Amino acid sequence: MIRNVVLVRLTAAHDPAEVKEIQQGFLSLGCPGTVSYTVGDDLSLREGNWSFAIVADFTDADAYVAYDRDARHNELRDRLRPMAEQIARVQYEVTS
């Protein structure tokens, strides 16, 4: 299984309503091979944290690549990009 973790740090000028809409769009993608998909806003329990995270599990690397290339997914990314100060990503294999 492949786990994709994305951290987003939003700009001060971001539109909270649009960010929520984009997050809901990510949650509704339903790409084939998606095992689980969560989006969570930071709880501000510690200073300096990122704004929100996406954690998604895919059956295999092919399923992740298909998700990464999905047209709707990339439309949502394009909408988010101007409101993001930074975006960090990592994909790794989950073996247990």
Q: Across the strands, what pairs with 36?
A: 57
Q: What is the pTM of this model?
A: 0.94
Instruction: Calculate mean pLDDT across residues 39-63.
Output: 97
Give the alpha-carbon dihedral of 11, 73, 27, 30, to 10 degrees: -170
Per DSSP (E only), the strands in the chain are 2-10, 34-41, 52-58, 84-93
Paired tokens of 46? 């510690």
CATH of domain 2-93: 3.30.70.100
- Where does the pLDDT of residue 1 fall: very low under 50, low under 70, confident under 90, or very high at 90 and above? very high
State the average pLDDT for the chain: 97
**Residue recorded with tokens 């997914």:** 73
